């Protein structure tokens, strides 16, 4: 085996660990039946893992410690990838900030504590780009994570997920618990959530444009000014990055997962309208929030420490997402 030297340098929390061969490990993927979790399970299978436990929320409510303890007894994992989360776009974050804070905090904190007590060998905590301060120098570097308060519309969610980094580093320092923390940027891809009440920007815009095209509408309404920017990572790339980190990264420092490419919301809407063949106009509702002004990540840590770079071209990924959604709509008719 090789030892993860680069990943642990320059840290007061550093503890040396052997890299993990996923092929001979039992792996628990929380949220494994969800959007990202489903792709993580597929990627782990491709990597040779054969014993994967992907529980459903109906069977294990991770907000309850008794359910978390039962889950670990039932799955007896060597490693955990914690992908379960309560997520959504700006609208539902503003509507349910308390739920987003409490549910995400309790799921993660209790699961990590139970994993420590059960002797789990490795814990992969998935954070969020929403944990970054509202005004972070672009590209976002992991060292800037604590230099301000997150953007207000999703701060409760971002802070709840950020506490997993604090917990992971504290547990590593006191107990030698091998927990790592990853910061995925906004994800998109086939099987995403297209519910207009809770979806993120890409599936929301795809649905709007397709429905407007089908009824012959002369315009679609878009929130904000269009000036804000975002970075997007194709979900299959994200799953590959997470699997690589689970196998090869054992350091205490947070690591960004992104594509390294930024696009304004205005350009994004224009691109989606073209790909969905919507010919009408775009109307901007400037009374609605833009959210964080800019989002674009520095992705060098992931490349250097466990060899991850995104591979999917953005337009290619959008076309695949649109094709999947149109096929799903036809199936439901």
- Give me the active site residues, please: 157
Query: Tokens 């504290």 identify what position?
Result: 170
Distances, alpha carbon 186 to alpha carbons 142, 200, 203, 274, 278, in Å: 16, 8, 12, 21, 24
Distance CA 283, CA 260 (A): 29
Q: Which residues on neighbouring strands pair with residue 232, listed in sequence order?
A: 186
Q: Which helix (H) or strand (E) holds 220?
A: strand 219-223
CA atoms within 13 A on the CB side of 174: 7
- β-strand pairing of 219-223 with 281-285: parallel
Q: What is the DSSP string of 5-18?
A: -GGGTT-TT----B
Considering Cα of 238, then 176, then 84, then 96, what sign does the dihedral take?
negative
> Cα–Cα distances in Å, from 56 out to 19, 33, 67, 75?
29, 6, 12, 13
48 phi/psi in degrees, rounded to 5: 105, 0
Closest CA to 162 of 144, 183, 178, 187: 183
Strand pairing partners for 223?
Answer: 285
Strands 186-188 and 229-234: parallel
């Amino acid at each position: 085996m090789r030892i993860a030297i680069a990943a642990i340098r320059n840290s007061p929390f550093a503890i040396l660990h052997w890299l993990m061969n996923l092929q001979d490990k039992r792996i628990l993927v929380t949220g494994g039946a969800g959007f990202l979790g489903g792709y993580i399970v597929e990627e782990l299978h491709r990597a040779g893992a054969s014993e994967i436990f992907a529980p459903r929320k109906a069977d294990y409510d991770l907000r309850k410690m008794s359910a978390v303890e039962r889950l670990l007894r039932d799955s007896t994992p060597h490693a955990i990838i914690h992908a379960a989360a309560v997520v959504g776009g700006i609208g539902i974050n503003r509507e349910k900030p308390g739920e987003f804070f409490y549910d995400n905090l309790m799921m993660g904190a209790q699961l990590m504590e139970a994993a420590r007590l059960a002797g789990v060998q490795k814990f992969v905590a998935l954070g969020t780009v929403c944990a970054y301060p509202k005004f972070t120098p672009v590209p976002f570097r992991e060292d800037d994570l604590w230099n301000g308060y997150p953007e207000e519309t999703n701060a409760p969610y971002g802070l709840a997920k950020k506490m997993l980094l604090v917990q992971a580093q504290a547990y590593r320092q006191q107990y030698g618990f091998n927990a790592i923390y990853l910061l995925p940027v906004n994800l998109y891809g086939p099987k995403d959530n297209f519910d207009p009440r809770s979806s993120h920007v890409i599936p929301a815009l795809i649905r709007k444009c397709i429905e407007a095209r089908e009824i012959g509408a002369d315009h679609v309404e878009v929130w904000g000014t269009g000036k804000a920017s975002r970075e997007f990572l194709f979900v299959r790339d994200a799953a590959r990055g997470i699997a690589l980190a689970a196998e090869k990264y054992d350091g205490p420092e947070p690591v960004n997962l992104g594509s390294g490419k930024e696009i304004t919301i205005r350009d994004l809407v224009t691109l989606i309208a073209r790909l969905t063949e919507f010919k009408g106009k775009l109307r901007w509702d400037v009374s609605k929030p833009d959210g964080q002004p800019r989002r674009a990540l520095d992705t060098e840590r992931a490349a250097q420490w466990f060899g991850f770079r995104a591979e999917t071209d953005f337009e290619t990924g959008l076309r695949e997402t649109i094709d999947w959604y149109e096929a799903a709509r036809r199936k439901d008719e």
